[in-house]
């Protein structure tokens, strides 16, 4: 019996640890390895929520829906009337009539047209605040930059090759990427960073060596390093066998390709096909490489808002999306406080009741 209980406890703890690991993994995956600045939002700031709702209706709801949200719920949570919320969220239904405050917040574009124009239908954003998090949304909204290779002329440092235009372009303005060049050693260790491509290439030529790598049973081993790539390739060539295959079956092996080619020429086969395949456990790799990355974004054309005003706009929009993903969070903490107060009072009564029941037991 005790063993059964112990096994049950171990399973429960294991499940908890696994769940924590999965949550952490999802959070790291959402960031995509990009540094995310804190959004510093407050879902209890009702003025911010209303500004965010207005910005969402003006710039986002044409394509994105909030199919789990209703305007009258937003009105109730922010302390405004239905009439006031209709002045902020002024969408229209399929009959081109103003939508009622109790209607679900649908988008204006059809799924079919959206898929045709954008390649895929824009997603519903009802749960974006919970799945991505406020920091991700905030950094995404501020990280668009000009990219002539993309269909809409923009890209994003948080969501690479994103398929949507920068709908806040008129407010933010145009940002251009400023690149840096990282000098990597063995593909991962950054030894130096440069803003000039010329300086980076010069450093690469100074530091780079061509390594002969032997792929063994337990991984790669560096057997030699050369400044001249041809020397490294000559070493590999000298340690390469050339197998001659006939109809995919090995028939001969030679030290040089010339010998293998001569064998094929001297031994024609009707209905068969030769193939010369080099075989070696050695390969040549560069010790250093350059990686081009976006260092930061630079505002080159100002928008209708100053940088400070735009920061406030996207914080309000982020705040609103985090709120609609879980409206109950406005009241959840107060429920917890009331529950603890109830349990404290209940404990007092339970304690004295217990004393009353057990006063005659010795």
Q: Are residues 261 and 312 in the same domain?
A: no
- The answer to whether residue 40 sits within a structural domain is no
Per-residue confidence band for 98, with pLDDT thresholds at 50, 70 and 90 = confident
Q: What is the pLDDT of residues 170-213, one digit of tens each?
A: 999 999 999 999 999 988 888 899 999 999 999 999 999 999 99
Per-residue confidence band for 153, with pLDDT thresholds at 50, 70 and 90 = very high
Q: What is the pTM of this model?
A: 0.73
269 lies in which domain range? 205-289
- The answer to whether residue 333 sits within a structural domain is no
Q: Are residues 175 and 312 in the same domain?
A: yes
- In this prediction, residues 233-247 reach a mean pLDDT of 89
Q: Percent of the chain at pLDDT above 70?
A: 89
- The answer to whether residue 339 sits within a structural domain is no
CA distance linking residue 328 with residue 43, whole number of Å: 11
Q: Where are the alpha helices (DSSP H) in the chain?
A: 2-31, 46-59, 71-78, 82-88, 111-118, 128-131, 134-141, 169-172, 197-207, 229-238, 257-266, 307-325, 329-358
Q: What is the pLDDT of residues 337-354, one digit of tens each?
A: 899 999 999 999 999 998
Q: Could you tell me if residue 247 is left (phi over 0), alpha (psi between -120 and 50 degrees) or otherwise beta?
A: left
CA distance linking residue 323 with residue 75, whole number of Å: 13
Q: Are residues 285 and 299 in the same domain?
A: no
Q: Are residues 72 and 218 in the same domain?
A: no
Q: Are residues 314 and 170 in the same domain?
A: yes
- pLDDT over 90 at 248, yes or no: no
Q: What is the pLDDT of residues 35-49, one digit of tens each?
A: 899 999 999 999 999
- pLDDT over 70 at 28, yes or no: no
Q: Are residues 153 and 174 in the same domain?
A: yes
Q: Are residues 217 and 88 in the same domain?
A: no
Q: Are residues 147 and 280 in the same domain?
A: no
- pLDDT over 60 at 4, yes or no: no
Q: Are residues 91 and 124 in the same domain?
A: yes
Q: Are residues 153 and 70 in the same domain?
A: yes
- In this prediction, residues 256-268 reach a mean pLDDT of 88
Per-residue confidence band for 128, with pLDDT thresholds at 50, 70 and 90 = very high
- The answer to whether residue 340 sits within a structural domain is no
Q: Are residues 50 and 175 in the same domain?
A: yes
């Amino acid at each position: 019996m005790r063993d059964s209980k112990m096994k049950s406890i171990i399973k429960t703890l294991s499940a908890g640890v696994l769940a924590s690991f999965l949550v952490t993994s999802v959070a790291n995956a959402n960031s995509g390895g990009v540094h995310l600045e804190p959004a510093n939002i407050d879902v209890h700031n009702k003025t911010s929520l209303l500004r965010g709702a207005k910005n969402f209706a003006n710039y986002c709801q044409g394509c994105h829906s909030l199919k789990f949200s209703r305007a009258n719920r937003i009105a109730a949570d922010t302390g405004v009337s239905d009439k006031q919320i209709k002045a902020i969220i002024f969408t229209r239904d399929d009959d081109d009539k103003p939508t009622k405050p109790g209607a679900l917040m649908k988008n204006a574009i059809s799924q079919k047209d959206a898929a045709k124009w954008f390649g895929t239908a824009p997603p519903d954003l009802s749960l974006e605040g919970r799945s991505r998090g406020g920091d991700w949304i905030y950094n995404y909204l501020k990280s668009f930059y000009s990219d002539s290779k993309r269909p809409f002329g923009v890209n994003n440092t948080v969501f690479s090759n994103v398929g949507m235009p920068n709908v806040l372009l008129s407010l933010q303005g145009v940002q251009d990427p400023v690149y840096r060049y990282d000098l990597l050693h063995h593909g991962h260790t950054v030894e130096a960073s440069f803003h000039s491509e010329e300086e980076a290439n010069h450093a690469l030529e100074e530091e780079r060596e061509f390594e002969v790598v032997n792929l063994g049973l337990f991984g790669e081993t560096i057997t030699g390093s050369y400044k001249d790539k041809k020397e490294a390739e000559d070493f590999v060539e000298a340690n390469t066998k050339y197998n001659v295959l006939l109809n995919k079956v090995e028939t001969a092996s030679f030290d040089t390709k010339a010998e293998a080619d001569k064998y094929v020429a001297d031994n024609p086969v009707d209905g068969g096909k030769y193939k010369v395949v080099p075989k070696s456990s050695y390969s040549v790799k560069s010790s250093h490489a350059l990686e081009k990355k976006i260092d930061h974004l630079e505002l080159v054309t100002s928008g209708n808002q100053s940088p400070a005003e735009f920061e406030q706009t996207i914080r309000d929009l982020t705040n609103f999306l985090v709120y609609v993903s879980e409206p109950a969070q406005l009241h959840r903490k107060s429920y917890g406080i009331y529950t603890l107060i109830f349990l404290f009072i209940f404990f007092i009564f339970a304690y004295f009741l217990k004393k009353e029941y057990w006063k005659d037991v010795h």
